[in-house]
Every structure is written in structure tokens, then in C-alpha cells.
Structure 1
Amino acid sequence: MGEVSLKEKVSILRRSKKAHNNKKYSMAIRGYNQIIEDKSLPVHIINEARVCKLLAEQKAPVSKKYSFSPDFMEVCENGKKYYKDNKCSYFLYKDYDTFKKYFNLQQDWVYVESDHFKFDHKGIPMVKYNDEFYYNTVTVCQYGLWLYDRYIDNKEDKEKFLNAADFLIDTIKKDGSFRYEFKYHHYEPLDVGWTSSMSQGQALSVFARAYNLTKDVKYLNSGGRVLKYLLTPISKGGVMDNLETLDDRLKDKVFFQQYVNSTSTYTLNGFIFTLIGLYDWSNVNCPGNIYYSNIAREYWDKGLNSLKLIIPYYDIGEFTAYDLHHVVKKSKPSSSDFYHSVHIEQMNALYNITKDHYFKNIRDMWISYVRE
């Protein structure tokens, strides 16, 4: 392609983004299509137009912080290579029911003891961090959900599941939070006592199932406390954020942060696990939980609305990013072969719950990136 033609297409992209942010979505999409259909263009320009088109189709603005860097392609290619070399895979359930199997299939080998993983004397999993073993709330929740799936299959492990649920109750702090007792690093240091929306959300998924099995009000009471903390804004010591760091026009849109950093990084998998927890708790609509069930449904709806406005940013060409650090901080994307599979399974779960073909289309697009 000649230099003049390339400059012309870059100009079309710039004008299309301007039209897009002026809410002239049809005009913007026409411009994006001109770029997407021109296979002689550099791949990073085509991918930027493709992501912007996905945003325009949702009538979501394009963040002024967003551009598709050529560096993204290296991350993308490495991710696909690791995915193939590590024989990653995904499992797609055909439906989702709060009181049946969880959507995130886990293999038995995940819970085999090793140098970095063990069970305590009560059968609760512990993980090694900084050369010491600690309880990780998400690990306990996921272990509990794995046990619940086994119970659905063969009625085994009910007591082990309830043991995990009861352990979670015992570790809830006065403010309704689960606190990590070890230091961690995610772009920046997280001190002892850090919290995560994912812990809160997955605990709701556990408590919803525990209450359904037992009708014991202790699970209702615990779920209510956990939900209250989940809905506490970061400014007040919680984990509920908004999308302002990504785009100030989206400051009224909620987001639940898996990691609370000084700059919001918007981890995708943790946000969706949290939303699934809200959905699960909204289905515990017994007389003692009507208020919290309704609140959970309200924030499930709000979270879904936010998610649809930002999903395209996680697409880095032919792979997915772990979070949006690459947008808000203009860095290389953080990516993982394992989490690409998780993202596919999460899109599938959201489609099964909502029947919204948007999630199905995203799922199928992300599957196409790793299909041999």
C-alpha cells in the first residue's frame, strides 16, 4: 500500500472515531468497515477499527485513552502459542442454573496436594505465598463450588461442601469483607488485609447453594453481610468502582474490582465472577432475603450494562487481555492462555443466563482465535 493511501485510511479512522464520539454511530461504522475490509492495511490499524466498531454497535463511546498499538500483536501471538503448547481448553455448558452446576468446570487434579497447595486438618485448602501457607478465599470458594458440582453428580461431598461454606462464614470480618492475610503484588504492592470483589462474589455463589441445600438462615445472614461490603465504594474502603478512569463519560457505570489499585485496572474475569455471584444471590428470593435478592439483581443488571460497554477493549487482536491496564496506562497488555479459556466460558455463561446474542457473538469470536 502506498504512503498516501495509508495516511488516507488513518485519517478515515480518526474521523470515524470523532463521528463515533459525537454519537453518529452509523457514519462511524461505515468508516470502520472501510478500514476492516482493506486487508492491505497494517493489522494493528484494522484491529483498532474492529474494536471501535464493536463499541459503536453498543453505542459505547471510544475512550480517548484507547489506541491499538503494534506491540499488542506480539502479546497476542505469544498468548496463542502458549495456549496451544499448554494444551489449554474450555468447556461450554448448555445452560446455567444457580442451584445446579457452576459454570466454571474444574479438573480433579487442581486439588491434588503439592509443594504449593495443601489441605489443613479440617479439609480446607491452603496456598503457599511468600514461602508460607495461607487461606485464599477465592480458592476456598472455588473448591466449595467444585464439591457442589460433585454433589450434583453423585450426591457425594455434601458435608465437605458445607464445611467449606461454614469456613467462609467464620472468616467474614465485621464489615462483611474477606481479608487476605498475606501481601500480594498486582502492578503495585497490596498490603495484608487487602480485599477483592471476586472473593465477595464467589462467596455469594457458595452461600446461595448452601442455603438451597439446608435452608439454614446462617447462610442468608452471611450472604447479606458479604453483599453489603461488595456494594461499598472504594472511596469508603470497599471494592465497588466505576468506569471513570477508563472514560469520564462512564463515571456513573459500576465496576467491581478484583484488585483495588491506586489506578483502576478493570480485571475481566474477576468482574464477571462477581457478577455471577450477584446473579446467584438474586435467585435466593425466599421471604428472609427479598430485599437483598432485589439489590443483587439491581447490581447484576448495572454490572451487565457496564460490561457490554467495555468488552471490546479486552480484545487485543486474536486473543484477550487479562485487564485494561494497557488502556488506562498505555502499556503492553497483560494476557494469559488460561484466562483466555476462562473468558470464553464466562461469555458462554452470560449468554446462557441472559440469552443476549451479544455475549454469544463475543464467545464465538474468542473461540475462533484458538480453534485449530
Structure 2
Amino acid sequence: METRSEAMARPPLGTYAKTSYTPRPLDWESLPYNSSTLNGYDQDVPRDASGVRMYLLDGVLYDHPVAQAQDALMALSDYHLSGEARYLNRAVLDAQRLIDRRVLSDGAWYYPYPFDFLLHGDSREVMRAPWFSGMAQGQALSLFTRLHQVTGEQRWLAAAHATFASFRNAPVEGLPSVVDVDAAGYLWLEEYPRWPMSTSDRALNGHVFAVFGLYDYQRLTGDQTALDLWNGALAHTRWYLDHGFRSPQYISHYCLAHPWVLSAKYHEIHWNQMLLLHAGTGDAAWSRSADLLRADYPPPAVGGTVKFAAGSHTGYKFSASGEITASKTIDLNAPSSAPADLRQRIKGRDIMLRITAGGLAGYWVPENYPRTGLAGIKLSLTYPLPRTVMIPAGTWSAYQFDSAGTPTASRTITPDRTTSAPFSTSATINGRWHILVTAGSLAGYWLPAQGLTLL
């Protein structure tokens, strides 16, 4: 049953910085949350007797707005791929549960969390039930928008309109509030709002997930306020990514209120979100941000064969804080190799390779092309849209490689002035970053990216 919060007219949200993007149309497969493969029906997650996604806490099942919205979005993706009605039925069940539990405040629907939550596991930072989340509002907005697109049913459009209204409502003490304009004039879509709003968590991932909801709604309706909010949320993301969230050469901050909270999982979510913003805006600056975040702390679960040049090589062991606790040096009279199971940025240090056999087994060695590097093409990333590389005057060679990283062909260009070429993909090959050129004399060849400007 619908619950009403205290009725009152809220003040205007206020002015905020905005970018000037026009949302790009995306096909279904390119939208956030959608997959090219089935997520599957029989997932090992808590559900109630009706099949609605739930959250298990201390042996009790609770409704969880984000979990329910995400479950439904995955089911819609699977329905699009398979055409099986059971996936659509699951999405409808989750969506209806959100609606059934809604709280109405100043014309907007909000989706409450019915349990207390220890933010970052800290007993001093308790979100008291019922609490609300901008991330939940944004993902519910994506869900209702897409359900309307898939089914044509007006009830889902009405739910989208009512959910969107929550992003227009200025924060008021004691009322559901998920948006805020900070003292610097930037718009926050707050995942973990507190009062006063300036004391909120200020998480990045939840803000951007809410941005995706505004994108979906604006593309469906053409609403000018939705466009303004979307551009306002993007101005925030651009500024605070560079002036708060990014931690050069290490894991990005989960939130601004607790800068000690670092998560490799959410760091990867952050750079993937930047790629999705490139797709939605057409601005390659978001993919450049993704490149920076990936270079700061690459996905560590990458192993293979490390190639060593002849000469001295020193391996290290580190404490959790990045302090050296042991070292060992070996001398090689000829090129050699050894297996590694991790490629990881050590805090305050270079990207390191953890050796698992041979004279440096158990030690980390610095990645340092051409002296040390993982053989082959690693961490390949195809961007959502073509990008451009600016190539200065000079001599530049590009290569094709086999699976072991051995060059199989090469081409060299010698432009007498700066030239450009499109590229689609980047990867680390034999310990050096490359881009895959897609047109011109280097089409189909991997070009080392050092000394180039990637747009």
C-alpha cells in the first residue's frame, strides 16, 4: 500500500553547474545493465515465495530496492535475448514490489529500505530505516522506463514519471531526499543521503548509476528538466572525478566522505561507468578518464608468462601498505621467462608482476618494457565509439602479434607533420600499452601509444 510522508511544498532545487551534452541514442545491447549473454534464470540469490528478489540479513528476508531493480533489469535483458516470458514475468514481479512499497512525498515516489544499514560496516555510520537512495531511485527509473518500452503499458510510464519527480525535489529534513546541490554548485545524486545533506556519503558509483536512469527517462520523454538534471549530474562527475575521486597510481576513492574506503571492485565499476558515459554522450573524454583509472590500478587478476631480458632483475615482497619487506636479485646471461599469476599496482609503487616459479618465485618484479613484461595481448579494451590518435612527425612502427606476443608483421610511417588515425581498442602487449588502428596505412596494426595523444 502506498505510504505518504508529511505533505509540504518543497523549495526549488536551486541552480547547479551543467554540461551541454545531447544524449546519444543507444541500441538495446549498448544500454547500461544489458548483456550480450544470458544472466540466467536460476541464480543463487534470495527470493521470497512469489519469486521477488530479496536481501537476507541475520536470517530475515528484507526488500531491497537496488537488488530488486537490478534483478529486474537483468531479467529484461534476458527477455530481450531469449524471448522467454518467464524473464519478463520476473521483471514485472520485482517492479511491482517496488511500486507496492512506495512512499509518496511531494508528488514523487520513493522506495524505502526497511532495515538499518551500517555504512562501510561502521557502527557509527548507521542508515536508519526507512532510508532512501538516489541509486535505487535511478535504477528504478531505468527499470520503469524500459518496462514501458518493452510492454507499451502505461502503468510503467506513470511509475517512471513519479520516480523521476524524486530528482526534482529539493532536500528537506525529515522527508525522503536523494538530490543535493553542494556549496560549489554541483548536483549530487546521493546513494547514501544523510541530514544535513552535506554530511552524506558522496559515493561515485551510485551517483553514476542514477545518471543512467536520467538518461533512460530523458531519451523516452524528451523532458527538458531531465536533460538539465542529466547534464548537471555529468558536470559533477567530470569535476569530482578529477578533484576528489581519482587517486593517481592507485585505487580510486569509493566516496568523498570516507576517503580511506578503497575498493578494487568499485574502482573497476568506476572506469566501466566512464565508458558507458562515453557511449551516452559521444564525448571521448570519458574514455580518456577510463584509461587513466585503468592505468592507476589495472584489473589485477591477469597472469601468464613474464619475459625477462638478459641482465640483473630484482624482485620484492611488500607489506599491505606497500613497504618493502624483502628483496632478491638474480642475474640472467640470456633472455628468460617465468610464470606469473598477478599483474597489480602496489600502493605507492609501479605495476608489479608476481612470479610463481624459478629464482624469483614468490617475489614481485616491476613491469618495465622491454626488460620485463607479460607476453601476449593482455587487458584488451574496445571502446564504445571510435577514438582518434594524434601522431607527431617522426618515425612510428606498428605491429601485428600472435597469441604469444611475437610480432608477425610490422609497418612504419614517417609523417613530416602531425597526422591522425582512428583506433578502436587498447591493450597491454608484452608490457607496453598499444592501440589498434582501424583505418589508414596502419589499419589492423597495434601502435605503441607512448608519445602519442589519444583523443
Question: What TM-score do the two structures reach when normalised by structure 1?
Answer: 0.64
Q: C-alpha distance in 1, partners of 2:293/2:206?
A: 18
Asked if residue 215 in structure 1 is aligned to residue 158 in structure 2, the reply is no
* CA shift for structure 1 position 131: 3.4
2:102 to 172, 179, 187: 172
Q: C-alpha distance in 1, partners of 2:51/2:140?
A: 18
Pairing 1:54-69 to 2, within 5 Å after superposition: none
Q: C-alpha distance in 2, partners of 1:310/1:323?
A: 10
Name the counterpart of 2:226: 296
Structure scoring higher RCO (CA < 8 A, sep ≥ 6) equals: 1
1:361 to 288, 308, 330: 288
Pairing 1:117-128 to 2, within 5 Å after superposition: 117-128=45-56
Contact 2:204 2:255 in 1 (8 A): yes
Q: C-alpha distance in 1, partners of 2:27/2:101?
A: 23
Q: What's the CA shift string for 1:149-191, capped at 9, x where partnerless?
A: 1122221222222222222222222221111110112251111
Q: What's the CA shift string for 1:44-74, capped at 9, x where partnerless?
A: xxxxxxxxxxxxxxxxxxxxxxxxxxxxxxx
Gaps of 5+ in 2: 1-23, 300-342, 344-455
1:97 to 14, 17, 26: 26
Which has more strand, going by share of residues?
2
3-state SS of 1:283 partner: helix
3-state SS of 1:125 partner: coil
> Counterpart amino acid of 1:243?
D
Distance 1:268 1:109, change over 3 A: farther
Asked if residue 202 in structure 1 is aligned to residue 202 in structure 2, the reply is no
> Counterpart amino acid of 1:255?
W
3-state SS of 2:180 partner: strand
Q: C-alpha distance in 1, partners of 2:186/2:286?
A: 19
Asked if residue 254 in structure 1 is aligned to residue 187 in structure 2, the reply is yes
Q: C-alpha distance in 2, partners of 1:279/1:232?
A: 18
Q: C-alpha distance in 1, partners of 2:30/2:94?
A: 17
Name the counterpart of 1:240: 179
Q: C-alpha distance in 1, partners of 2:27/2:138?
A: 13
2:274 to 324, 328, 347: 347
Q: C-alpha distance in 2, partners of 1:111/1:359?
A: 35
Contact 1:99 1:212 in 2 (8 A): no
Q: What's the CA shift string for 1:133-159, capped at 9, x where partnerless?
A: 101000001001111111222212222
Distance 1:99 1:281, change over 3 A: farther
Contact 1:268 1:322 in 2 (8 A): yes
Distance 1:342 1:145, change over 3 A: same
Asked if residue 137 in structure 1 is aligned to residue 69 in structure 2, the reply is no
Gaps of 5+ in 1: 1-94, 245-249, 327-331
Name the counterpart of 2:217: 281
Name the counterpart of 1:60: none
Distance 1:110 1:257, change over 3 A: farther
* CA shift for structure 1 position 243: 2.6
Name the counterpart of 1:162: 92
- Greater Rg, structure 1 or structure 2? 2
Pairing 1:63-78 to 2, within 5 Å after superposition: none
Q: C-alpha distance in 2, partners of 1:182/1:163?
A: 21
Name segments (4+ residues, structure 1) moved above 6 Å: none
Q: C-alpha distance in 1, partners of 2:247/2:41?
A: 29
Q: C-alpha distance in 2, partners of 1:268/1:111?
A: 31
> Counterpart amino acid of 2:179?
M
2:251 to 313, 319, 327: 319
3-state SS of 1:112 partner: coil
> Counterpart amino acid of 1:321?
H
Q: C-alpha distance in 2, partners of 1:229/1:108?
A: 30
Count residues in correspondence: 259
Q: C-alpha distance in 2, partners of 1:297/1:108?
A: 31
Name the counterpart of 2:423: none
Q: C-alpha distance in 1, partners of 2:143/2:246?
A: 30
Which has more helix, going by share of residues?
1
* CA shift for structure 1 position 340: 1.4
The alignment yields a C-alpha RMSD, in angstroms, of: 2.4
Contact 2:253 2:261 in 1 (8 A): yes
3-state SS of 2:74 partner: helix
Q: What's the CA shift string for 1:81-139, capped at 9, x where partnerless?
A: xxxxxxxxxxxxxx9837445424688489733xxx41112211111124321010000
Q: C-alpha distance in 1, partners of 2:81/2:158?
A: 28
Question: What TM-score do the two structures reach when normalised by structure 2?
Answer: 0.53
